[in-house]
Amino acid sequence: MVDIESMIKSLRLSWLKRIFGENSGAWKNYVNCLLKETGGFALFSCNYNTKDLNINSEFYLELLEWWSQFREDNAVDHRWQYIIWNNQEISINNKPVFYKKYFHYGIQTTRDLRFDLNNINSYKLVEKTLL
């Protein structure tokens, strides 16, 4: 007898192959739009908690939850835990953050931050980079 829950999860997770594939379509744009505030498809690389996400599609919310569980149970490499954005361990006012500008300029992990500079010089460096 097949475990129906595992079968549903595996079929749902197979959508990830389509999401990250080269094919395009309205459904893929819809998913990207749903995830826009959290960095689009980059969210799949983050240490998110689905309770913190504001996604109004139960299908994709479950997909994200199951992906998170699958990755936690099976991944050899745990790089997603070190990404700053959407990280359930790093929050401001009890909510994870995503700053689009910083993400697009390559600041994604704590290693990308400049701890060797004081706050004022670090801010000036970031402002100069972003302008």
Task: Give domain limits for the chain.
Answer: 4-98, 99-131
pTM score? 0.74
pLDDT of residue 111: 78
Section 21-50 average pLDDT:
86
Percent of the chain with pLDDT over 90: 14
> What is the DSSP code string of 67-129?
HHHHHHHH-S--GGGGB-TT-TTSEETTEE---HHHHHTT--BGGGS-TTS-HHHHHHHHHHH
pLDDT of residue 123: 64
Higher pLDDT, 79 or 65: 65
Tokens found for residue 117: 């500079």
Residue 111, Cβ density class (10 Å: 0-12 exposed, 13-18 middle, ≥19 buried): exposed
How sure is the predictor about 131, in pLDDT bands with cuts at 50, 70 and 90? low
pLDDT of residue 126: 65
